[in-house]
Amino acid sequence: MDVHNMDKSEGKDNSKKRVAVVYMVAGLSSRFGGKIKQFARVGKNNETLIELSIKQAISAGFDKIVFIVGKMTEKPFKEMFGDSYMGVPIYYAQQKFDVEKRDRPWGTGDALCCAREILDCDFVVCNGDDLYGENTFKILFDHLQKSDNEATIGYGILDAIPEKGNVTRGIFQISNNFVSEIKETFNVSKDNLHKVGLTERSLASENMFALHPGVIKMLHANLEVFKKENSGDRRVEFLLSNELSRIIKEGKIKMQIYPTPDKWLGVTNPEDEEIVRGIISRQ
């Protein structure tokens, strides 16, 4: 890391707390033929999806970028972004796993824990292959300026799933604008909501959470136990939404939930790339 980048935030409003945006970009997509989905060029000016997301975050006030990369994505991301973007410093954390014992990494919760030594400030963690919108980033940025609680965004289920294909979504259970549980629901599509126990009013997670550094310590402690208990399982994953739900139910954290005026855009299936490009071109 270039030492000059450490002071990139000088000249900004010092009354605001520093907040990092953390992108989970460790995996390649088998559905995309092993390509990096985040590099799909969907912008009006041929920008990549991840560039559009970063610009939204920076416009909302974020002044530190963290990429959680994998063995196959670390080099491409470093070649594309280096150690800063639009004057904002970039840090990298690599998610690793033992290929002799595992078929895949340990999941999104493990990915976040890989960045624990970098995250010395409040942060928003999110997917690198989704577009959340500048308003959405701003909502969570402002929340972290004023609250000690964690926070997330609730998307109407019909806005949180692609036009075609099945996806897995965390579904929020809510009490007085606070999350009481995040229930992982599999094989959700626009054609089978009721079959999987959902309604058009269900609120879904898009894996975007505003958190404080202390949460990572809790997650890491649970991760160590999880790995010991599942040492013989080559595929089980420590999922961020599941583990946050667990510590919410244990009363260790409180998580507020906010609506957003922005529409979520994601690249899940190959045909989504053209769909997202078309939507952005009309905005």
Work out the percent of the chain whose per-residue pLDDT is above 70: 93
| Position with higher pLDDT, 35 vs 226 | 226
- Residue 16: the pLDDT is 84
Cβ atoms < 10 Å from Cβ of 61: 19
Single pTM value for the model: 0.91
Region 160-185: mean pLDDT is 91
At residue 32, does pLDDT exceed 90? no
Question: Please, which residues have CB within 8 angstroms of residue 200's CB and are 6 or more apart in sequence?
Answer: 156, 157, 158, 193
CATH of domain 18-282: 3.90.550.10
Domain boundaries, the chain: 18-282
Interval 224-273: pLDDT, tens: 999 999 999 999 999 999 999 999 999 999 999 999 999 999 887 778 88
Interval 39-68: pLDDT, tens: 999 999 999 999 999 999 999 999 999 999
For residue 18, what are the CA distances in angstroms to 82, 89, 121, 131, 144? Answer: 21, 12, 6, 22, 9
For residue 105, what are the CA distances in angstroms to 100, 151, 239, 266? Answer: 12, 26, 11, 22
Interval 95-109: pLDDT, tens: 999 999 999 999 999
Of the candidates 110, 65, 94, the residue with the CA atom closest to the CA atom of residue 238: 110
